[in-house]
């Protein structure tokens, strides 16, 4: 009878201890939207899944060689646009099929290598998420030549690149003029646009021997023209609406720089606090595209300005060492350049990561404390 009573007390106390564990864990709950930056963040995925022309790629996660699934043809179009696959032969009515064939597997391997992902040749979740990310419209592989270094995993190595043939502005031409020529498709006022682009060009002039000046004479002395356009706009590189392809620019000495007018551009204030999930920082994109105007290709360094993708509601305007070494190799260095200031892109997610890490720590501590309490009670009753 005594043993039965003792066992009953033990069960009650263990149940109470378990309840305490649940209370502690509930008090320390960490929302998925505030997890540290090293973990998947639903806030980052939200615009990718709701406003993105590439959102259907999420349905292809897990596909591998030999599979046939609706939508793989569209993903082949994506890979072809950015240089990883050749355009389909005319005999196929200029459309890709939905077969996951050997060419697609190799294209995905090359893509994964360029972006520093695990090279599996399969559409694993990390690869699909990267492919849905907003990005520059300039191809990563041009005429069979990759503009991204193949060894993205090698630390301490410069991974900047140039367009095939390394085109640049003549070394004798140190002053370039730019004109903002097409603004009717954007609601941003002209004065604000001038300020944003002036700051973006200044990022590059600080590190080089080049100088940039805005001009209103686009047809006369402008070396560079900047405009906002929608859909097809005459250069064979149609825009695709919000997110997807944000902008593109042509290599020297073409001088054309086009932005997708459909984007939720933010030209002032803190983009990380923007109400729109698909908000895009104008200056960040401008600094990247100016790099192309000057001759830089894409970089495999994720922290570099010339990295092809950028997350919505993120500001990334400071040149990284990779950008500086690449541009100075083309044009020489500014003797007054003070060097690169260590910085990281600013996003609303990163601002909350410290608090989330602390909450996770408290949750773990509460869990183990509860377990220890339950074990202690059980031990006490056993005497």
Q: For 58-71, what is each residue's pLDDT tens digit?
A: 999 999 999 999 99
Instruction: Check residue 309 and report its DSSP letter.
Output: B
Q: Is 258 annotated among the ligand-binding residues?
A: yes
Q: Is the pLDDT of residue 159 over 80?
A: yes
Which is catalytic among the residues 232, 237, 289, 302?
289
Please tell me the predicted confidence (pLDDT) of residue 90: 72
Q: Is 289 a catalytic residue?
A: yes
Asked whether residue 216 falls in the same domain as residue 248, the answer is: yes
Q: Which domain holds residue 270?
A: 175-350
Asked whether residue 345 falls in the same domain as residue 293, the answer is: yes
Q: Is residue 359 part of a domain?
A: yes
**Domain CATH number, residue 126:** 1.10.101.10
Total count of domains within the chain: 3
Q: Is the pLDDT of residue 182 over 90?
A: yes
Average pLDDT taken over every residue of the chain: 82
From 117, 133, 149, give the residue that closes a domain. Answer: 133
What is the value of pTM for the model shown? 0.79
Q: Is 73 annotated among the ligand-binding residues?
A: no
Q: Is 229 annotated among the ligand-binding residues?
A: no
Band (35; pLDDT cuts 50, 70, 90): very low
Q: Is 306 annotated among the ligand-binding residues?
A: yes
Question: What percentage of the chain reaches a pLDDT higher than 90?
Answer: 67
Band (19; pLDDT cuts 50, 70, 90): very low
pLDDT 10s digits, 80-134: 999 999 988 776 566 899 999 999 999 999 999 999 999 999 999 999 999 999 9
Q: Which of 323, 304, 340 is nearest to 115 (CA)?
A: 304
Better-scored residue on pLDDT, 332 or 365: 332
From 101, 133, 165, give the residue that closes a domain. Answer: 133
To the nearest 10°, the Cα dihedral for 56, 58, 62, 68?
-10
Better-scored residue on pLDDT, 19 or 225: 225
Asked whether residue 256 falls in the same domain as residue 121, the answer is: no
Q: Is 81 annotated among the ligand-binding residues?
A: no
Q: Is 64 annotated among the ligand-binding residues?
A: no
Enumerate the H helices of 299-352 as residue ranges. 321-331, 348-351
Q: Is 240 annotated among the ligand-binding residues?
A: yes
pLDDT 10s digits, 229-284: 999 999 999 999 999 999 999 999 999 999 999 999 999 999 999 999 999 999 99
Q: Is the pLDDT of residue 18 over 60?
A: no
Q: Is residue 221 part of a domain?
A: yes
């Amino acid at each position: 009878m005594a043993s039965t009573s003792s066992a009953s007390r033990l069960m009650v106390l263990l149940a109470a201890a378990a309840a305490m564990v649940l209370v502690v864990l509930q008090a320390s709950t960490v929302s998925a939207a505030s997890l540290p930056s090293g973990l998947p963040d639903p806030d980052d995925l939200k615009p990718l899944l709701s406003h993105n022309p590439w959102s259907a790629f999420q349905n292809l996660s897990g596909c591998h060689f030999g599979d046939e699934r609706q939508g793989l043809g569209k993903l082949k179009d994506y890979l072809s646009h950015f240089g990883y696959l050749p355009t389909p032969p005319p005999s196929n009515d200029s459309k890709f099929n939905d077969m996951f064939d050997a060419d697609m597997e190799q294209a995905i391997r090359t893509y994964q290598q360029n972006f520093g992902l695990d090279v599996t040749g399969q559409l694993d979740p990390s690869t699909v998420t990267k492919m849905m990310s907003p990005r520059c419209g300039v191809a990563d592989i041009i005429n069979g030549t990759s503009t991204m270094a193949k060894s993205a995993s090698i630390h301490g190595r410069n991974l900047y690149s140039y367009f095939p043939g390394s085109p640049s502005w003549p070394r004798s031409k140190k002053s370039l003029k730019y004109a903002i020529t097409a603004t009717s498709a954007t609601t941003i006022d002209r004065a604000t646009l001038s300020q944003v682009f002036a700051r973006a060009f200044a990022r590059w002039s600080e590190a080089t021997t080049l100088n940039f000046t805005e001009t209103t004479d686009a047809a006369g002395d402008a070396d560079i023209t900047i405009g906002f356009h929608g859909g097809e706009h005459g250069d064979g590189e149609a825009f695709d609406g919000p997110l997807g392809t944000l902008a593109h620019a042509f290599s020297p000495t073409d001088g054309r720089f086009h932005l997708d007018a459909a984007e939720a551009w933010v030209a002032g204030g803190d983009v990380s606090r923007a109400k729109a999930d698909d908000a895009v920082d104008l200056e960040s994109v401008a600094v990247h595209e100016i790099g192309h105007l000057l001759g830089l290709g894409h970089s495999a360094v994720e922290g570099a300005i010339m990295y092809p993708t950028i997350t919505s509601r993120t500001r990334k305007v400071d040149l990284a060492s990779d950008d500086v070494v690449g541009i100075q190799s083309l044009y020489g260095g500014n003797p007054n350049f003070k060097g690169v200031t260590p910085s990281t892109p600013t996003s609303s997610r990163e601002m909350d990561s410290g608090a989330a890490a602390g909450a996770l720590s408290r949750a773990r501590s509460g869990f183990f404390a509860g377990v220890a309490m339950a074990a202690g009670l059980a031990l006490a009753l056993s005497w």
